[in-house]
Structure 1
């Protein structure tokens, strides 16, 4: 029977005091915690399956609250996410929910989060994001980004930027979002990487691609995390490898 395998890991990194990333895999969520080893989940291919990473905004209050709220809502909406319009609606609903939660507590007034992920359907894949967390085609050589960074071009001589132009929540005054959502065909042995910028900021795409090509899912997750740690682990690191099995 065709299936989807999801192998995931989340870690605070070496600099942040706590983990503000959250992860959703189908009905399961992982919020603000640390996994010592990659964990693998198996699902039959058929019912819509959402896999997403939400990265709470650093430097602003309650990022872990915002990211947990978003993955919780995506988990509850999961099986209804059967098309691009339903994903856009869910992300816009998440955005309003973050603002509403922030308005109830002055200490959370500007909390916000990015989000990026996929919805696995029987014959296609919905790729979505708001912010600078990413989705890659992990089977492509070279590695190919499928998400769209909501950030300005980096300054000359720099590979990344910490600026984000669109997030869920993140300001005192409500701001609508325009989620990036794309549908693409799906085939057996397709493989996708969903991750926060705690992985992609310190580790160049060519290194990520090499590690993905060299290892199976469990080992690849560990080696990707290790590469980010060896590069200084400056931020929370959350990643999920999604593979379509025959």
Structure 2
């Protein structure tokens, strides 16, 4: 049996409404498994063999506009269907373009959903690398013994002096009254067994400082880590939906 055949990808996922919003407009995909507008009372852990492309992503429906949960669910459904074919940066860009087209087409069919949109961020796990991607301000973070680093690229306006976060985005899947093309951020990074990856909506990263996220990941793993991250967001007021997936590779 080859080394690759003995390795597995562990994905621990959680999605919660938070303390302020009435509905959960976030969605999540891990391989063929999707979670749309649903609250998970406990972190869910999934195990996948390392080999074929495995997509793990979150989508954060844009609040203040109709159909955020529809846009996020459409996006993860497309990524779940296309996941096994996402073997290159080009394939990921094309998949995200198709997500964007699908959201605008759905809004065209139902004018009550006009301008619905969502952010998306995630990673495709390959045997030796990770294809990190995003459109909007949902994030992919990389954690190891040296700390925490952001490997996605926020589509947000520059922050003002003293401002730590902003809810504004400069690019999204859908989100406008007329079709707007996207330029997804996609990059390849080496897959490292010593590193863990956090794929999350800004419901986690807005209220919880990166230093606290790093400290939690140093102290905990798996479902306990996801629970403690959720707890930190709740204790900070949880003004938005909180959705995350922790990704790691092991024997």
Q: Same fold, TM exceeding 0.5?
A: yes
1:190 maps to which of 190, 195, 202: 195
How many matched pairs? 246
Q: Deviations over 1:162-185 (max 9, x none)?
A: 110000000111110000000011
Instruction: Indicate yes or no: 2:66 matched with 1:53.
Output: no
SS at match of 1:182: strand
1:17 maps to which of 22, 27, 49: 22
1:78 maps to which of 79, 83, 86: 83
Residue aligning to 1:6:
11
Instruction: Output aligned runs, 1:1-246, within 5 Å.
Output: 1-139=6-144, 141-246=146-251
Confirm or deny: 8 A CA contact 1:155 1:161 kept in the other structure.
no
Rounded Cα–Cα distance in structure 2 between residues aligned with 1:140 and 1:10 = 26
Rounded Cα–Cα distance in structure 2 between residues aligned with 1:151 and 1:195 = 16
Q: Please report how far the alpha carbon of residue 140 of structure 1 lies from its aligned counterpart in structure 2 after TM superposition.
A: 5.2
Q: Deviations over 1:122-168 (max 9, x none)?
A: 11100000000000002252210000000012221110011100000
Rounded Cα–Cα distance in structure 1 between residues aligned with 2:146 and 2:211 = 10
Rounded Cα–Cα distance in structure 2 between residues aligned with 1:43 and 1:36 = 22
Confirm or deny: 8 A CA contact 1:141 1:209 kept in the other structure.
no
SS at match of 1:23: strand
Rounded Cα–Cα distance in structure 1 between residues aligned with 2:223 and 2:146 = 20
TM-score by length of 2: 0.97
Rounded Cα–Cα distance in structure 2 between residues aligned with 1:141 and 1:205 = 13
Rounded Cα–Cα distance in structure 1 between residues aligned with 2:192 and 2:165 = 32
Confirm or deny: 8 A CA contact 1:10 1:35 kept in the other structure.
yes
Structure 1: unaligned runs, 5 residues or longer = none
**81-90 vs 151-160, which deviates more?**
151-160
Rounded Cα–Cα distance in structure 1 between residues aligned with 2:230 and 2:145 = 20
TM-score by length of 1: 0.98
Q: Please report how far the alpha carbon of residue 186 of structure 1 lies from its aligned counterpart in structure 2 after TM superposition.
A: 1.0
SS at match of 1:143: strand
Residue aligning to 2:3:
none
Confirm or deny: 8 A CA contact 1:189 1:245 kept in the other structure.
no
